Amino acid sequence: MRLFTALWPSQEAVRHLAAAVETVRSTQPKRLAQATEGLRKFRFLPPERWHLTLCFHGDDAEPDRVGDRLARRVGRVGRTQPGFGPPRLRMTGAGVFRGVLWVGVQPGGQEDAAVLSTVAGMAGADARSFRAHVTVARWAAGRADRALPDLLTAYEGPWWSADEVSVVSSEQQSSAPVYRTIRRVALTAVD
């Protein structure tokens, strides 16, 4: 079982991005085909799997230990850091990593950016190198040029609040992983 920590976009945000991806697929098939030419096994991921990964914990991580540590850290920061609470975010822009087409995640302001960075650090990520994004497509081999992210570069989704952080297991079944939330930790300040 693989384990990761994530923020899940709101249903409204996912629907909005799914509509944008479907628009690209249905109204720009030639442009999409050209942008993915040479990318082996290119595929869009189903919207129900779109999430913002904060930290990948690996195959041997203990779910209870990861969840308990995260809950302690969030509780401590919630009691001591003024302004800590659900960050306001939106999905916007696009880019590529090796084998991945992603849509960026933008904080609403400096306070939201600070909370997102703090939450990523509490989850175990290196907050300095953390790049908030949602993976929307993958491919097995080949190098994407600028044409692929250009399909979604102008995308701007609705704002949403990340009310909780989730510890999630990923188990390979058939040809796709199945995600199961193991633990949820609310991102609220403690009065």
Domains observed in the chain: 2-186 (3.90.1140.10)
Predicted confidence (pLDDT) per residue in 123-166, tens digit: 999 877 889 999 999 999 999 999 999 999 999 999 999 999 99
Catalytic residues: 51, 133
Residue 40 near residue 139 (C-beta atoms within 8 A): yes
User: For the chain, what percent of residues have pLDDT higher than 70?
Assistant: 98
The two structure tokens encoding residue 88: 């306001």
Average pLDDT over residues 26-40: 95
Q: Is the predicted pLDDT of residue 106 greater than 80, yes or no?
A: yes
Average pLDDT over the chain reads 92
CA distances from 175 to 51, 65, 102, 179, 190 (A): 19, 29, 21, 13, 42
Report the pLDDT value the prediction gives residue 133, as an integer from 0 to 100: 96
- Measure the CA–CA gap between 140 and 39, rounded to whole angstroms: 7
Report the pLDDT value the prediction gives residue 78, as an integer from 0 to 100: 80
CA angle 84, 90, 92 (to 5 degrees): 140
Q: Is the predicted pLDDT of residue 83 greater than 90, yes or no?
A: no
Q: Is the predicted pLDDT of residue 2 greater than 70, yes or no?
A: yes
List the beta bridge partners of residue 183. Answer: 167
Q: Is the predicted pLDDT of residue 191 greater than 60, yes or no?
A: no
Enumerate residues 6+ apart whose C-beta is below 8 A from 55.
Answer: 4, 5, 120, 123, 124, 125
Q: Is the predicted pLDDT of residue 122 greater than 80, yes or no?
A: yes
- Measure the CA–CA gap between 65 and 52, rounded to whole angstroms: 21
- Measure the CA–CA gap between 91 and 107, rounded to whole angstroms: 9
Note the pTM of the prediction, 2 decimals. 0.91
* Phi-psi map region of 115: left, alpha, beta (phi>0 left; psi -120 to 50 alpha): alpha
Report the pLDDT value the prediction gives residue 80, as an integer from 0 to 100: 82
Q: Is the predicted pLDDT of residue 190 greater than 70, yes or no?
A: no
